Amino acid sequence: MNLNQVAVQLYTLRDFLKTPSNIAESLKKVSEIGYKAVQLSGMGPIAEEELNEILEQTGLVCCATHEPGDLILNNPQAVVERLQKLRCKYTAYPFPRDVSLETAQEVANFAEALSRAGHILAEAGQVLTYHNHQLEFRRFGDKTVLELIFEKSDPRYLQAEIDTYWVQYGGGDPVAWCQRLQNRLPLLHMKDYVITSEYKPAFTEIGAGNLDFKRIVRAAEQAGCEWFIVEQDTCPGDPFDSLAKSLDYIKANLLNR
C-alpha cells in the first residue's frame, strides 16, 4: 500500500457535507490532512460537474462511490452514467435495506440480482462491489449470508468492499476474508474496532483499536486491493482530527517502504 492508494470514506464527514460550500471546505481539509482520494457517500445534493471542479481544485481523486441500493438493482444504467460523469470506476452496494434475506434462497436471488446489475456496469468498464455489515454473518447451515452472496454471484460482475469493523463485529476474521477474496477485492474499508470502558464495541482511529492492520493490509494487497479507504462511523470529537490520527498511523506503520 502506498499513500496514493489511501482514501477517505466521506460518510465519516457527513455532518460537514450538507451544501456545495460545505463540501468544498471539507474536501480542502481532507487534502490538507494528506489524503489523496475520497469515496463519495453521505453528501448533500451537488452536481457532478461542480463536484469534479472541487476535486480538481483540491487535488483529490474520486476512487469510488456508494449509490442507493434500489438504484443499483433497478436502474443500473443511471449508476453507469453517474460514474462516467465522475470519471470513477468503482461503486458499492451499501446495505440491503429493502431486501429480504430470511432464507438461503432469498440470499441467492439477491446475489443473482447483484450480478445482473454488475453486468451492466461491467459493460461500461465499471465495477460493482458489495459492502458488508454484521448482518451478513447470520448463518444458514454451514454458510454465512456473506459467503452465499459471493458464492452465488458471478465474480465477473460482483466484487467486494470488505469492511473490517463489521467483519469483526459479526464474528468473522478480516484477514481470512481478504484471503478468501483473491482477485475480487478492489476496495477495503479500513475501520478499527475497540471495546469501551462500558464493555461495548465502538469505532476508533486506525491503530487505536484491536485489529491487526499490518496483517489485514498485507492480505488485502495479496488479494489485489487497489484502494484502502479509511472510515470511522462515529468519532469522539472532530472527525477531521480522527482522520488525521488514522493517517498518521498509516504513514508510520502501514505504507510500503
Give the residue among 9, 120, 132, 134 at the shortest CA–CA distance from 71. Answer: 120
Query: Which residues on neighbouring strands pair with residue 161, listed in sequence order?
Result: 131, 187
Per-residue model confidence as pLDDT tens for the chain (257 residues): 999 999 999 999 999 999 999 999 999 999 999 999 999 999 999 999 999 999 999 999 999 999 999 999 999 999 999 999 999 999 999 999 999 999 999 999 999 999 999 999 999 999 999 999 999 999 999 999 999 999 999 999 999 999 999 999 999 999 999 999 999 999 999 999 999 999 999 999 999 999 999 999 999 999 999 999 999 999 999 999 999 999 999 999 999 86
CA 237 to chain centre: 22
Task: For residue 162, list its beta bridge partners.
Answer: 188
In the prediction, which pLDDT does 257 show? 62
Secondary structure of residue 204 in the 3-state scheme = strand
Helix, strand, coil shares, percent, the chain, to 5: 45, 20, 35
Among 255, 237, 227, residue whose Cα is nearest residue 9? 227
Backbone angles phi, psi at 167, to 5 degrees: -60, -50
CB 186 within 8 A of CB 159: yes
Structure pTM?
0.97
Measured from the Cβ of residue 155, the count of other Cβ atoms closer than 10 Å reads 15
pLDDT at 62: 98
